[in-house]
Chains A and B, each alone.
Chain A
Amino acid sequence: MVKPDKINQRRGTAKIIREAKDVLRIEAEGIYSLIDRVGTDFAEAVQWIYKARGRVIVTGIGKSGIVGRKIVATLNSTGTQSLFLHPVEAMHGDLGMVSSDDIVLVLSSSGETDELKMILPTLKDLETRIICFTGNTASTIGRNSDLTVYAGVEREACPFGLAPTASTTAMLALGDALCVALINMRKFQPADFRRCHPGGVLGERLRVPIEIIMRTGTSVPRVQEETLVGEAIKEMDDKTLGSTLVMGNGDRLVGIVTDGDLRRGLCSYERLLEKPVKAIMSRNPKAIRIGGFVADALEIMEQNEITVLPVVGAKGELLGIIHLHDLLGKGHIKFTM
């Protein structure tokens, strides 16, 4: 027989799990509900920031202030200059950091935050454009902003408004949407990220020299131009990179055979396995010169939509090969940062 305290413990556990699921469901719905509300006002906000000559000054207080700091961090690390302005410090001199070229992003769920309402007139005097993220577009701050973006939710997960939950999650997600839209508009590349973000796992990974992570020696799949396709497939299978390099005279890289080349070859030749690889290989494959960084390799792969990249020396001689998974720390080289 199960003891009563055990039963109570199980019930307690079930209740915790049920409540946690409820909270996650409510927070997820908060973000979902914003999807239908994102419209031209949001697009205009992105355009304003993209075209602004100055910086994005983010301001908010309490939980909105914490969300604001995160938005600032993401904007800065993705190529948009940004600063956080504490509304109280703003009233005591920090408004001096704001210029008319800047755009001020005000975060306020209620749209009635006293400290923010107090700095609005000065921001207007400075002729700074004001964008507001709020759950109450008819509020004082909503009405007095140049652009108001709805950031409200249908339900909060915490009683009495003691701790804003879904509303701050939604605002944070909207901030991320803003940052990602700007990344795309600026054509932000991994190399740019590395420049802005030398710390952190991603930044660390991107500035690793490629010779550290490239595969060398017998782990590099390679065949000669005259090798039959059947043997090339075996080489591809053994080295598990989904492709093999094709070598010409003097260890010179002349081509590459990928799964895609095999598929196309199957359509062109009846007895494909007996053909030499030079019949189906892609000639002059994209390659990276030794001395580059992971960020450079990633950029070449992204631009050319490829997943493997040969590494060559100054005279075009083959030195190794990199797979996309190696760059992401998922391949045979593990990043232990």
Chain B
Amino acid sequence: MNNSVTPRGLICSLALVPNPENRSVYQNLESLMARLQPAVAGLFLDPMFWCPGANCCGPASSSLLEEAIGLAPPDLPLWVRITGTSAEQTLHICHQLENVCRRLKYRGPLAWVDTPLFYHSNRGLPEYYHSLLADMEFSLIVDNDPNIIRKIADTTKRKNIRTAILRKLVQEPRLVALVHRGDLRRGINYQRAVRSRSDFLVYDGRESNFLERPSASGVISVGANLLPHEWRTITLSSLNLEETHFGQASTFRHLWEAGQRVRTLQRHYQQAPDRIIPAVLAAWGLILDQIEGLTPEEQKATETILEHLPES
């Protein structure tokens, strides 16, 4: 059992589909988790991925979160996004989920994930987090995602957490990691800013960054829903967590092929991973919900992936 809530390695963001009728997604979750559990170091429940935009805090995603927490294997670290559309709503979601955890007697390593710039500016962020953490039971992971901020608020002055602000944020001991989804240069600056905390990890939230210049902390991957074992192979190798015997040509080839496979698929689903990946999982029968209203491009990408991976 991994006791750390921030393990180095592969964190899989579950590709789930909330359904408006509030049906149980038990079968979806059970089959997906069984498939992922042997390969990943942690799981991420991310309503922002399931329901992009302001819908992420709706009742459908809340019930899905509750069900997912109940089904999560307690031996895997679990990350859950609590981001709301305001500071008040974020705190409300956090308290709601803490109650769920208490009710379900959840005992696994758990951390909340928040994208603060979704509802808060850089100004006053350290003070805000100081008070938020005082009201929280679990550790917090901060998510820097310029793309999502760009989508929801074009007028927002800053799309990224300022490096100087991050330097202040890491003075909070219960802030344990950063997920960075922006460009590599900023990622390097962030890593420099958090060096005062040797226990603080900076994960790559953008898969393509990890596939080119891997962070030594790990990666948040949604593609791991499709290729969990390939993602595990390249993550362990990239992080030097397992010895790689390059003297053996077969090892080298295996690693190269796994990497190429992951890269090829990533190119196909990156236009809309929140729709294409669940569509592939549905075609495999791993999740029961069908993804409706795919655009022709999304449909084509789904078919291409299914050609590469005819069965799970």
Binding site for B on A (CB under 8 A): 22-23, 25-26, 29, 32-33, 36-37, 62, 108-110, 112-114, 135-136, 152-162, 164, 167
Contact mask for chain B residues 205-219; partner A; CB cutoff 8 A; 1 contact, 0 none = 000000111111100
**Considering the chains assembled together, what is the distance between the CA atoms of A101 and B24 in angstroms?**
68
Q: Scan B232-251; emit 1 where CB is below 8 A from any A CB, else 0.
A: 00101111111110110000
Determine the chain A residues whose CB is within 8 A of the CB of B239 once the complex forms: 161
**Given A154-B216, A160-B258, A162-B255, CB of A26 within 8 Å of CB of B188:** yes
CA distance A153 to B192 in the complex (A): 11
Say whether B28 faces chain A, with CB atoms less than 8 Å apart: no
Closest to B233 in A: A160
B182 within 8 A of A: no
For A164, the closest partner residue in chain B by CB is B240
Q: Complex formed: what's the CA distance from A36 to B184 in Å? A: 22
- Shortest distance between the CB of B281 and any CB in chain A (Å): 25
Indicate whether A155 sits within 8 Å of B256 (C-beta atoms), given known contacts A37-B198, A62-B247.
no
Given contacts A29-B191, A154-B188, 7 further A-B contacts (CB under 8 A): A33-B191, A36-B195, A154-B202, A154-B217, A155-B213, A155-B215, A160-B238
- B240 pairs with A136, CB closer than 8 A: yes
Q: B214, A25: Cβ atoms under 8 Å?
A: no
Cβ-defined partner of A26 (8 Å) among B213, B217, B246, B259: B213
Bound-state Cα–Cα, A157 to B212, Å: 7
Contacting residues, chain A, for B184 (C-beta < 8 A) = 22
A112 touches B238 (CB 8 A): no
Say yes or no: is B252 at the interface (Cβ < 8 Å to chain A): yes
B213 touches A160 (CB 8 A): no
Q: Are B238 and A159 in contact (CB under 8 A)?
A: yes
Residues from chain B with a CB closer than 8 A to the CB of A108 are 243
Top 3 closest pairs, chain A to chain B, by CB: A161-B237, A160-B259, A109-B240
Chain A residues whose CB sits within 8 angstroms of the CB of B196 once the complex forms? 36
| A113-B211 Cα distance, complex, nearest whole Å | 24
- A-B contacts counted at CB < 8 A amount to 89
Q: Are B211 and A159 in contact, CB atoms less than 8 angstroms apart?
A: yes
Residue from B216, B234, B242, B246 with most neighbouring chain A CB atoms (10 Å): B216
B242, A112: Cβ atoms closer than 8 Å: yes
Minimal Cβ-Cβ distance residue in B for A135: B240
**In the complex, which of the residues B188, B196, B247 has the most CB atoms of chain A within 10 Å of its own CB atom?**
B188
What would be 13 A-B contacts, judged by CB atoms less than 8 Å apart? A29-B191, A29-B192, A37-B198, A108-B243, A112-B242, A112-B243, A155-B216, A158-B213, A159-B211, A160-B237, A160-B258, A161-B237, A162-B255
**Which residues of A lie under 8 Å from residue B187 when comparing CB positions?**
155
Question: Which residues of the partner chain B approach A136 to less than 8 Å between Cβ atoms?
Answer: 240-241
The answer for the CA separation of A103 and B259 in the assembled complex, in Å, is 39
- CA–CA, A93 and B238, complex, Å: 33
With a cutoff of 8 Å between Cβ atoms, the chain A residues found around residue B247 in the complex are: 62
**B contact residues around A112 at 8 Å (CB):** 241-243
CB distance from A59 to the nearest CB of B (A): 14
Chain B positions 165 through 193: 1 when the CB is less than 8 Å from some CB of chain A, otherwise 0: 00000000000000000001101100110
Residue of A nearest to B210 (CB): A159
List residues of chain A with CB within 8 A of the CB of B214: 155-156, 159-161
Q: Is the CB of B252 within 8 A of A162?
A: yes
Q: Is the CB of B259 within 8 A of A159?
A: yes
B190 to chain A, nearest CB (A): 10
Contacts of A23 in B (CB 8 A): 213
Nearest Cβ in chain A — how far from B255, in angstroms? 6
A22–B217 CA distance with the chains assembled, in angstroms: 18
How far, in Å, is A337 (CB) from chain B's closest CB?
Answer: 37
CB-defined contacts of A164 to chain B, threshold 8 Å: 240
Contact status B252-A22, CB under 8 Å: no
Cβ 8 A contact of B243, one of A37, A114, A155, A156: A114
Q: Please measure, in the bound complex, the distance between the C-alpha atom of A26 and the C-alpha atom of B189, giving whole angstroms.
A: 11
| Residue contact A135 to B216, C-beta cutoff 8 Å | yes
A154 with B240: CB separation less than 8 A: no
Q: Which residues of A contact B215 (CB under 8 A)?
A: 154-155
B223, chain A: closest CB distance, angstroms = 14
Encoded as 1 (CB less than 8 Å from any A CB) or 0, chain B from 13 to 53 comes to 00000000000000000000000000000000000000000
Within 8 Å CB of B211, what residues of A?
A: 159-160
User: Complex Cα distance A22/B184, Å?
Assistant: 8
**Residues A110 and B188 in contact, CB atoms below 8 Å apart:** no
